[in-house]
Amino acid sequence: MSSLGMNSRGEVRTASEFKDMFDDTGISASPYKCPFCEVLYVDKCIVTECVKAPHFGLVPKGEAHRNGCNGEATDSGVVTTSKPSRAPKGIVAGDIDLPEALVSRRNPTRLRQPGGDDNGPPPDVTEVRRRRRIVVGDPTIQSCFTTYNIRNIVEAYKRLRSKVHDAAVALGQSPGTDEYKKTFRASLEFHPLVLKKVKLNYRIAFSNSKLFPSRDNRIYSGNGTILIDDKFIVIQDNDVWPATFERTKSAPLTVRIARTLPPESPTTHARALAELEQLALEQKPIDWWAYGTATLHHDRFEILVESFDHLYWKNQYNPSARSTQPES
């Protein structure tokens, strides 16, 4: 299995980047090929939700790469997850791959020579080497399980919590007991999560109204109602948040995101904006998640969200649900 693939335009991306694109648009970039030797690939866990990280397999199974290629940019082979195969005692690892990093959207790297197309001859040894050098030298290509949308991280977090809960209960630990809390804490901390280069884990990367907000970016969550003004969508959280570490004072919290989209924004951002404007009209409360920093201004916390990739809410428009509806 490989973590890098190429679409018919000769652009190399990681399997998780192809998954993000599919989640956004509902359109698969298949057929995929090995970006180096162009042997045919099949995508795994890209158009379907699964417990494994997105990756590619060879078609047919047992087919081999050619001209010194192993499907990766280096000879050391696949770098997928850093997770040890067995979790230490007292930790529930769960048989799932979780996104390991929140990254920025990036432009794809084109690997084919100018004029090369999907019907060209297979790359020879020199060409395979040239392509591998390009990928090795490109620091924006990360072979771990990344995503640019917090949606994938939030959904993985929910799956992990429910797995840890089930496992702890199966061990006879009741929710609320010290034993249960210890298992929960250790199990979430066991799973690394990098938020824009800041190394955290699946416990400390998340926060809510029960904790004094960190000075750094986190994924915050709550339940709130939506208002719109001239410039911003504003989610007013229904809870008060601790305004001191000792929780002696509290303050309301709002999440803001600009209603003006930057040029060349993906169409999914326009759709997310329209959906929030509609929810504001309907006065429906939402369960929200936002990546950013909660800062205190005039006795009120504010999280200013930079991109619609960093704001997610329950039942947010989901293109994979669309494919189950009849075509019109």
Of 13 and 151, nearer to Zn ion (C-beta) is: 13
- Look up tokens 């969200």; give the residue: 305
Of 65 and 259, nearer to Zn ion (C-beta) is: 65
Of 42 and 211, nearer to Zn ion (C-beta) is: 42
Structure tokens at 254: 């709002």
Of 71 and 94, nearer to Zn ion (C-beta) is: 71
Of 2 and 149, nearer to Zn ion (C-beta) is: 2
Of 39 and 296, nearer to Zn ion (C-beta) is: 39
Asked if residue 22 lies in contact with residue 13, where contact means CB atoms within 8 angstroms, the answer is no
Do the bridges between strand 300-305 and strand 294-297 make them parallel or antiparallel, or are there none, so unpaired?
antiparallel
Stretch that binds Zn ion, among 35-43, 116-124, 205-213, 224-232 (CB under 5 A): 35-43
CA angle 36, 50, 171 (to 5 degrees): 130
- SS3 at position 207: strand
First to last CA, the chain: 37
- CB of residue 115 vs Zn ion: minimum separation in angstroms? 21
**What is the pattern of x (binds Zn ion, CB under 5 A) and - over residues 184-223?**
----------------------------------------
Give yes or no for residue 130 binding Zn ion (CB under 5 A): no
Structure tokens at 68: 């010194």
- CB of residue 66 vs Zn ion: minimum separation in angstroms? 7
C-beta contacts of 79-82 below 8 A and 24+ residues apart: 79/3, 79/143, 79/144, 80/1, 80/3, 80/53, 80/55, 80/143, 80/144, 80/145, 81/53, 81/144, 81/145, 82/144, 82/192
Of 5 and 71, nearer to Zn ion (C-beta) is: 71
Q: Please tell me the count of residues contacting Zn ion according to CB under 5 A.
A: 6
- CB of residue 4 vs Zn ion: minimum separation in angstroms? 9
**What is the pattern of x (binds Zn ion, CB under 5 A) and - over residues 90-129?**
----------------------------------------
- CB of residue 21 vs Zn ion: minimum separation in angstroms? 22
Q: Which of 4, 15, 21, 34 binds Zn ion (CB under 5 A)?
A: 34
- CB of residue 121 vs Zn ion: minimum separation in angstroms? 15
Tell me the helix, strand and coil percentages in the chain, rounded to 5: 25, 25, 50
Instruction: Scan residues 36-95 and list those touching Zn ion (CB under 5 A).
Output: 36-37, 65, 69, 71
- CB of residue 296 vs Zn ion: minimum separation in angstroms? 53
Of 132 and 191, nearer to Zn ion (C-beta) is: 132
Rounded CA Rg of the chain? 22
- CB of residue 65 vs Zn ion: minimum separation in angstroms? 3
Asked if residue 186 lies in contact with residue 203, where contact means CB atoms within 8 angstroms, the answer is no
Residue 125 has what DSSP assignment?
Answer: H
Asked if residue 34 lies in contact with residue 41, where contact means CB atoms within 8 angstroms, the answer is yes
Rounded Cα distance between 79 and 69, Å, is 15
Rounded Cα distance between 135 and 36, Å, is 10
Q: Which residues are near Zn ion by CB under 5 A?
A: 34, 36-37, 65, 69, 71
